[in-house]
């Protein structure tokens, strides 16, 4: 499966059983979240020792409802705790990794 070039292309890949291993790891982590597998997504984000990995990690804890943990990871990513819609944040993360 080719790497998607747009958010709508990304959404179409969700019909597959798994993401392509050729994709960047942040995009794979987001794919697992979109498929409803928070744990798989979180496991990947934990291993991404980059600002983007921290940002995805923050998003996942925010989604989980763990504001304290999310705030820690946002700080690690150089961001502040986001107050807007989770769907908007998810889309921004996907688009930043395409």
In a domain, 89, yes or no: yes
Token code pair at residue 45: 């984000």
In a domain, 88, yes or no: yes
Please count the structural domains in the chain: 1
Q: Where are the alpha helices (DSSP H) in 1-98?
A: 7-12, 25-34, 38-46, 51-64, 67-76, 86-96
Q: What pLDDT, on the 0 to 100 scale, is given for residue 83? A: 82
Split at pLDDT 50, 70, 90, the class of 82 is: confident
pLDDT tens digits for range 8-60: 999 999 999 999 999 999 999 999 999 999 999 999 999 999 999 999 999 99
In a domain, 37, yes or no: yes
Report how far residue 33's alpha carbon sits from residue 14's, in angstroms, rounded to the nearest whole number. 10
Residue span of the structural domain in which 84 resides:
7-11+30-96
Query: pTM (2 decimals)?
Result: 0.95
In a domain, 24, yes or no: no
Q: What pLDDT, on the 0 to 100 scale, is given for residue 5? A: 97
Split at pLDDT 50, 70, 90, the class of 80 is: confident
Q: How many residues does the chain have?
A: 98
């Amino acid at each position: 499966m080719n790497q998607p070039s747009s958010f709508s292309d990304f959404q179409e890949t969700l019909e597959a059983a798994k993401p392509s291993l050729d994709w960047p790891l942040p995009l794979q982590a987001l794919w697992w979240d979109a498929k409803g597998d928070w744990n798989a997504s979180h496991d990947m984000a934990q291993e991404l020792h980059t600002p983007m990995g921290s940002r995805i990690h923050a998003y996942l804890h925010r989604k989980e409802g763990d504001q304290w943990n999310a705030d820690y990871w946002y700080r690690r990513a150089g961001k502040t705790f986001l107050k807007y819609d989770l769907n908007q944040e998810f889309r921004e993360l996907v688009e930043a990794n395409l």
